[in-house]
Amino acid sequence: MKIELIAKSLTMWSCMITVALMAAPQTAQAVLPACVPKVSQAVVRVPPGKPRMMAGYFQLDNGCRNAIVLNTVRSSDFGEVSIHETVERDNVARMRYVPALTVAPGDRVVFRPGGLHLMLMKPKSNLKIGSRIPIRMSGPGWSLQVMFDVKGMAG
Q: What is the pLDDT of residues 83-131, one digit of tens each?
A: 999 998 888 889 999 999 999 999 999 999 999 999 999 999 888 999 9
* Whether residue 42 is found in the same domain as residue 88: yes
3-state secondary structure of 29: helix
Name the pTM for this structure: 0.75
* CA-only gyration radius of the chain, Å: 24
Q: Quick: pLDDT tens for 33-50.
A: 578 999 999 999 998 888
Sequence-distant (6+) residues with CB within 8 A of 53 are: 119, 120, 121
Whose CA is closest to 45, among 54, 37, 36, 58?
54
- Residue 20's SS3 state is helix
- Which residue in 44, 40, 35, 97 sits closest to 69, CA to CA? 35
Q: What is the CATH classification number for the domain harbouring 72?
A: 2.60.40.1890
22/72 same-domain check: no
DSSP β-ladder status, 116-123 and 78-89: antiparallel
Q: How many domains does the chain have?
A: 2
Quick check: helix, strand or coil at residue 127?
coil
Whether 138 and 64 share a structural domain: yes
Domain encompassing residue 10: 1-32
CB 46 within 8 A of CB 150: yes
